[in-house]
Amino acid sequence: MVKLNRVPGADCKATILAKLEFQNPGGSVKDRIAKKMVEDAEAAGLISPDKNTIVEVTSGNTGIGLAMVAAAKGYPCIIIMPQVPPMYERYLLCRKFGADVHLTAPAIGGQMIQNAFDYMEILLKENPSYWTPSQFKNPSNPTVHVETTGPEVWEQTGGKVDYVIAGAGTGGTINGLGRYLKEKNPDIKLICVEPTESRVLQGEESDKHTLVGIGAGVPLQFIEELEPGKPFEPGPRGIIDEFMHATSDEGMEMANRLAAEEGLLVGPSTGAACKVALEVAARPEAAGKNIVTIFPSSGIRYVMHPMWGAEKGEGSAALPMPPDMSGDPPLLRWKSEDYVPPEE
């Protein structure tokens, strides 16, 4: 956990603490649930490496975590993702860990994630030995945050935490983390972050966005169960005091600022959470308070994402293929500070 020093401006009245979940071995907060879901199933006698193949639908980070765990334990593993460019690094990482990757149609019926789930159901029916941890429904998901993430935040802040801000992919992080911390101090304010374009948890329609990892566009079981039976509508829900949001552009802009001004290489959903944290920190009632924000994953796995567009264009110009291998002068062939991007 680190304090943000330069991104918060003069309007910031609070201390913003970032919990760097990209420091987990597979590079994201989802490593926690991957290990927990598999080991709980093993303890219950449901799966073993010699009998079962792990199968899961993911936007990437859970898939990488599961591929890593499967490699360590000897399970065959199939990761299912939509066939869209932002999955590029996720595809490579899952394959590097030895998992197979199945890519589904993103546009049939306009239901990108649902298409992946429909395909997984076919796989599971045709292959009785296949097992899915079902991250959107598996109680081990929020439980691991009750057991680990929550206690870590409490210990790392010395119990001095006033706000907790986190995005919702499955909703497991904010569910488990929030339940633990609210038991420690019911006055802690819990804030859930959604994409502005996909505020489904507030009863709005889902539209396309680029905040990969949050805003799945479907109601989330782990959020619904915080106040069972209540419609998804504007306002708080159970232990969640407030739902806030950021646009795709705001998330990318803040992620780029965090890299350039704090030395923290993060993804766009982290940028969205940080943007919300700055808004909260500017409130008069936040003066002198501690705001903990979950930074779920590293920006290095978003190189195919639009947030890397400028750097990729420059990199292609700086490092042509094939390289100039001539022995002729000049010695210096490129200076980044002299680069002028082409006009759009």
Range 187-198 average pLDDT: 96
Chain segment 87-99, per-residue pLDDT in tens? 888 999 999 999 9
Q: Do 90 and 213 reside in the same domain of the chain? A: no
Residue 278 has pLDDT above 70, yes or no: yes
Residue 151: inside a domain, yes or no? yes
pLDDT, position 30: 96
Q: Are residues 250 and 115 in the same domain?
A: no
Q: Mark whether 269 is an active-site residue.
A: yes
CB 266 within 8 A of CB 302: no
Indicate whether 11 and 56 sit together in one domain.
no
Say if 148 falls within a structural domain. yes
- 310 within a domain of the structure (yes/no): no
Position 17 pLDDT exceeds 80: yes
Average pLDDT across the chain, whole number: 94
Reference 283, options 233, 242, 235, 223; nearest CA is: 242
> What CATH number does the domain containing 146 carry?
3.40.50.1100
Domain boundary among 131, 161, 179: 131
In a domain, 109, yes or no: yes
Q: Give alpha helix (H) positions in 189-333.
A: 221-224, 248-262, 268-281, 309-318
pLDDT value at residue 113: 80
Which residue is it, tokens 């998901």? 141
Active site residue 297: no
Is 121 in the same domain as 177?
no
Residues 71 and 168 in one domain: no
Asked whether residue 126 falls in the same domain as residue 146, the answer is no
Q: How far apart are CA 151 and CA 145, in angstroms?
A: 8
Instruction: Check pLDDT > 90 for residue 120.
Output: yes
**Domain final position from 69, 99, 131:** 131
Which of 269, 275, 297, 298 is flagged as catalytic? 269
- Does residue 84 surpass a pLDDT of 80? yes
Determine, yes or no, domain membership for 215.
Answer: yes
Same domain, yes or no: 15 and 65: no
pLDDT score of 306: 87
Q: What is the span of the domain harbouring residue 58?
A: 30-131
Whole-number pLDDT of residue 19? 98
H-helix or E-strand spanning residue 179: helix 172-184
90 Cβ contact list (under 8 Å, min separation 6): 58, 59, 60, 61, 63, 64, 81, 301
**Mean pLDDT on 26-54:** 97
Same domain, 143 and 120: no
Same structural domain, 57 and 18 = no
With cut-offs at 50, 70 and 90, classify the pLDDT of residue 304.
confident
List the catalytic residue out of 19, 30, 189, 275: 30
Asked if the structure places residue 336 within a domain, the reply is no
Across the range 167-178, mean pLDDT stands at: 96
Tokens read off for 153: 């935040």
Residues 229 and 258 in one domain: yes
The C-alpha atoms of residue 223 and residue 192 are separated, in whole angstroms, by 10
pLDDT at residue 314 tops 70: yes
Where does a domain end: 93, 110, 131? 131
CA distance 187 to 319: 54
Q: Confidence class of residue 109 from pLDDT cuts 50, 70 and 90?
A: low
In-domain check, residue 327: no
Mean pLDDT of 240-267: 96
Residues 57 and 187 in one domain: no
The predicted model gives 215-219 an average pLDDT of 87
Considering the domain architecture, whether residues 176 and 256 belong to the same structural domain is answered as yes
Count structural domains, the chain: 2
| Residue 312 belongs to a domain | no
Mean pLDDT, residues 258-265: 97
Q: Check residue 110 and give its pLDDT.
A: 60
Question: Would you say residue 213 has pLDDT above 90?
Answer: no
